């Protein structure tokens, strides 16, 4: 059986992209093994190797000084891992943690593939694209930064999620099917500022129920503040995102590329609050692409206030016609996971 090493980063966005492609590779008789600097539980039991890697941009002077030592360690780990596994190809998911495995692969003459889910490629993707056999992108806008002959527009690799009728999904969550639902989350790690604002707003907004995913760090504090509030369900982490999206009438979230692809897949109106410290302003740029289409509203964090967020939520959730117009504005999404897996399978067979 052929094997592909998928090199992912530390966030759920990068890991879930790899998991989505791994699921499709299996259909072509290709085994996937992972390297990751993130949480192993996000891999859903798939085989993996931990890698000690960290980024360079935006770090403290001390961390920039220590970066070469960290990179040498990750290179050493990558050589050991690849020599042990002997993969037929390496797929990098565009994060800094994929750089060492990718460089090791090229040094050992193993084909390198890269997938980039942001509208503007990060430094890792731009650097590795020169050595890659293929670069798979999700946004057309990303092509201008990458070698034309190697780049393929595939769509974002989206993990397989359950799709339910909205009333059935609300009922499964223990919510009232007759009341509009706002689903609030901040990505795989949560978003403290958004969660804190929602503790203030939820009691103020009538005729609406809320599903709030806080992240593990803030769960106890947020739960305590909203104790006794019957119109909200609070979770530290939601594993069944398909259920949550299916039940929701409006999404309030950060703007990671994978989150946007999932919102687009379910055609859910959204209020996006881009993470302000994302490298190269990836989240803001990704969100603006959908905002121009009319399917989301974007609030930059420096403009964020409880009154602004309350006004946007009420304007959208209380207008069925507006929500329908926003939903219709979404373009049809192509799940890139199968297309990427199929292309890799073809390349490995030639």
Annotated binding site for UDP-N-acetyl-alpha-D-glucosamine: 11-13, 159, 188, 238, 283
Contact 16, 42 (CB under 8 A): yes
Q: What does the alpha-carbon distance between residue 40 and residue 32 come to, in Å, rounded to a whole number?
A: 15
| SS3 state of residue 192 | helix
Taking alpha carbons only, the member of 217, 218, 210 closest to residue 184 is 210
Q: What does the alpha-carbon distance between residue 312 and residue 191 come to, in Å, rounded to a whole number?
A: 18
Q: What does the alpha-carbon distance between residue 18 and residue 5 come to, in Å, rounded to a whole number?
A: 10
Taking alpha carbons only, the member of 336, 286, 254, 297 closest to residue 11 is 254
Q: Which residue has the tokens 């005729």?
A: 207
Annotated binding site: 11-13, 159, 188, 238, 283
**H or E element in which residue 348 lies:** helix 336-349
Complete DSSP assignment for 218-265: THHHHHHHTTT-TTEEEES--S-HHHHHHH-SEEEE---HHHHHHHHH
């Amino acid at each position: 059986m052929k094997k592909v090493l998928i090199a992912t980063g530390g966030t759920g966005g990068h890991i879930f992209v790899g998991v989505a492609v791994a699921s499709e590779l299996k259909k072509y008789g290709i085994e996937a093994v992972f390297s990751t600097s993130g949480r192993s539980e996000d891999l859903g039991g798939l085989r993996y190797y931990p890698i000690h890697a960290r980024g360079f941009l935006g770090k403290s002077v001390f961390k920039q000084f220590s970066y070469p030592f960290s990179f040498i360690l990750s290179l050493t780990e990558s050589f050991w891992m690849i020599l042990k596994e002997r993969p037929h190809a390496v797929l990098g998911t565009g994060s800094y943690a994929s750089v060492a495995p990718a460089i090791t692969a090229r040094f050992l003459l193993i084909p390198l593939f890269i997938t980039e889910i942001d509208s503007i490629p990060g430094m890792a993707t731009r650097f590795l694209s020169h050595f890659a056999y293929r670069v798979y992108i999700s946004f057309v806008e990303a092509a201008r930064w990458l070698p034309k002959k190697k780049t393929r527009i595939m769509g974002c690799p989206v993990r397989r999620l359950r799709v339910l009728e909205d009333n059935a999904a609300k009922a499964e969550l223990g919510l009232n099917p007759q009341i509009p639902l706002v689903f609030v989350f901040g990505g795989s790690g949560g978003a403290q500022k958004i969660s804190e604002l929602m503790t203030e707003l939820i009691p103020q907004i009538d005729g609406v129920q809320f599903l709030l995913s806080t992240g593990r760090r803030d769960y106890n504090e947020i739960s305590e503040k909203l104790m006794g509030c019957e119109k909200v369900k609070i979770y530290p982490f939601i594993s069944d995102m398909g259920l949550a999206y299916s039940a929701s009438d409006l999404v309030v979230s950060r703007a990671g590329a994978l989150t946007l692809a999932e919102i687009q897949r379910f055609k859910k109106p959204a209020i996006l609050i881009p993470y302000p410290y994302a490298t190269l302003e990836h989240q803001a740029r990704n969100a603006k692409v959908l905002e121009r289409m009319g399917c989301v509203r974007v609030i930059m964090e420096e403009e964020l206030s409880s009154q602004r967020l309350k006004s946007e939520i009420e304007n959208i959730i209380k207008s069925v016609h507006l929500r329908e117009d926003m939903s219709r504005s979404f373009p049809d999404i192509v799940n890139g996971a199968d297309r990427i897996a199929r292309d890799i399978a073809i390349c490995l067979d030639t």
